[in-house]
Amino acid sequence: MVFSSHEFVLIFLPLVFLAFAIANRFGGWQASFSVLGAASLVFYAQWSIALLAVLLTSAVANYIVGTFLIKATKEGRPAGWLLVSAVIANLVALGYFKYTNFFIDITNQVSGSGFSHLDIVLPVGISFYTFIQIGFLVEAHSGQAEQQPFIKYLTFATFFPCVTAGPLVLQREFFDQMKDRKDSALEARRLAVGVTLFAMGLFKKVVLADSIAPFANDIFAGVAAGGGVDMVSAWVGALAYSLQLYFDFSGYSDMAIGIGVIFGIRLPLNFNSPFKATSISEFWQRWHMTMTRFFTKFVYSPMAMRGMRSAVSKGHSPLRRYLVAGAWPIVVTMLVAGVWHGSGWTFVLFGLLHGVAIAVNNGWKHFSLPKPPAVLGWLMTISVVICGLVIFRAPDVASAMTMLTAMWGISAEVPANGHLAVALGLREALGLIFLLGAITLLAPNTQEILAKEWVSSDPVPKTMSRIAGYISWRPAMGWSFAAAGTFLLAFTSISADSSFLYYQF
């Protein structure tokens, strides 16, 4: 049961909202939040009771450690050792479930041994709920967190709209919304906005992303099976996957934020038209925004500060100072971000590519070199992004290199079988790529359309409400019909095997 399933839309979501409303009527907001905590456990238990036990163990352990950290910080006692131990424990648990078999592969390649893979089931969303709780521990140690009842913490750590694939919410932006709530749980305008945003996200996922997915899947599967690919097919596969992931993740993020709005919890933005970016740094300010925020705050900034102190104390030249305090922390941060997505050399290369590209981009600005025209900046950015996504999508490095060399005309082949499978649907594929590409580059995004009824815990940019113009959402009959039509079209397009790509991370 995922957000884009009949079971979730017809059964789970309405029943949870009914229980939420009844609890609010008789017990107020705190009772409603308890219902959300219980519903989150039920939602997660669908994958298995064993995986739910892993999630609960993580939540209980981190809550206990966080309690000690908050108390120690208030009393002025040193607790750095406890924070470090707890972060390591979280990473070890994550590493066991996610990277054990990758390390076995490396060991076999290096030593020539023949260790078999372990039968380990990856808990859905473990990368997300682990990092959400690491963020809580760090803020507890730095005095930015307050002690909360366990049921509130459990709701935060397992909140079903974001436990499986984000957004990576910070504790204070969640707990602040649980304080002293006086508004109505059944406020019609808020519910209308939440449902509209959910419908938009569902449409993006099941109508747009799932429509173009087969073209990407066919080409990447053909290459992985050893088939060659020519330049046109390689570009079709790369563009199709880029647009599939764009609308898949954008749709998921809209649905997650929309569900949060329905239940009175505003989540941070996670997606802001990243394909419109004219630099690779801007791209990461628009794509998976909460992940970028997390790694910037907890990985990049501490490294950059230490590097700057070291560079200043040693009297490095400006270039060497930038390499130590700017470029190196960026490359390391993006490597960590790449590996965070998955285990395999493709994720290492993906992180390395983006780390080097951002380091070059930031260095260009740091030394005040001539700024390229916006069109050239966009072309360079989107080229890096698409090549990165080819590496990201490919099952192994060899397949990624086959795709990339074909795309850039280095070693394009004309296969006997793989090309034929693609060529049969080439016109349809190009039509979809043109349509979806135009939407990503020319249309306002969902938060811009809903800017007058802001949906996020992030502040509203001053220019946001002017972008959507005449199609800005408003509580009117026309928008009611539009939202209902969007929902019905999306609902009737739901297929049985429609899962979100980011669930695998």
Residues belonging to the chain: 505
For 466, the enclosing helix (H) or strand (E) is helix 464-467
Alpha-carbon gap, residue 166 to 4, rounded angstroms: 16
Alpha-carbon gap, residue 403 to 415, rounded angstroms: 13
Tell me which of 288, 341, 354, 419 is the catalytic residue: 341
Q: Are 392 and 341 in contact (CB under 8 A)?
A: yes
Q: Are 87 and 65 in contact (CB under 8 A)?
A: no
Alpha-carbon gap, residue 457 to 162, rounded angstroms: 14
Determine phi and psi for 21, rounding to 5 degrees: -70, -40
Tokens representing residue 364 in the block:
């260009």
Alpha-carbon gap, residue 113 to 119, rounded angstroms: 18
Residues whose CB is less than 8 angstroms from the CB of residue 461 and which lie 6 or more positions away in sequence, other chains included: none
SS3 468: coil
Q: Are 474 and 465 in contact (CB under 8 A)?
A: no
Alpha-carbon gap, residue 244 to 255, rounded angstroms: 16
Tokens representing residue 436 in the block:
């979806």
For 122, the enclosing helix (H) or strand (E) is none
For 476, the enclosing helix (H) or strand (E) is none
Determine phi and psi for 155, rounding to 5 degrees: -65, -40
Question: What is residue 347's DSSP assignment?
Answer: H
Q: Are 285 and 190 in contact (CB under 8 A)?
A: no
Q: Are 399 and 223 in contact (CB under 8 A)?
A: yes
Q: Cα angle vertex 204, ends 35, 496, to 5°?
A: 70
In angstroms and rounded to an integer, the radius of gyration of the C-alpha atoms of the chain is: 23
Q: Is 316 a catalytic residue?
A: no
- Alpha helix positions (H), 46-145: 49-75, 80-111, 126-141
Alpha-carbon gap, residue 344 to 99, rounded angstroms: 8
CA-closest candidate to residue 260, choices 104, 100, 454: 454
- Please, what is the angle between helix 345-366 and helix 328-341, to 10°? 150
| Active-site residue set | 341
